[in-house]
Amino acid sequence: MVLIIQILVLTLIILSTILVIGIPVTLASPGQWEKSKNLIYTSIGIWAGLIIITSIINSFVT
């Protein structure tokens, strides 16, 4: 169970790093927002889902 939490947290950290770098670059690039809007919203939804899933699974461990 601890391994699952560690994998979820690692995935959350990697996705967070990608979003922290990717969103400002997308917003600063002319015309990229219209092309990448759905991908960014999907990534944010996955990020929020990972937080919820990680917190639920973590509540069973402690």
What does the H/E/C string look like for the chain? CHHHHHHHHHHHHHHHHHHHHHHHHHHHCCCHHHHHHHHHHHHHHHHHHHHHHHHHHHHHHC
pLDDT at 62 over 80: no
pLDDT at 7 over 80: yes
CATH, domain 2-61, list 3.40.225.10, 3.30.565.10, 3.40.50.300, 1.10.287.740: 1.10.287.740
Domain boundaries defined on the chain = 2-61
Looking up tokens 């069973």, which residue turns up?
60
Q: What is the pLDDT at residue 17?
A: 97
pLDDT in tens, 9-51: 999 999 999 999 999 999 999 988 888 999 999 999 999 999 9
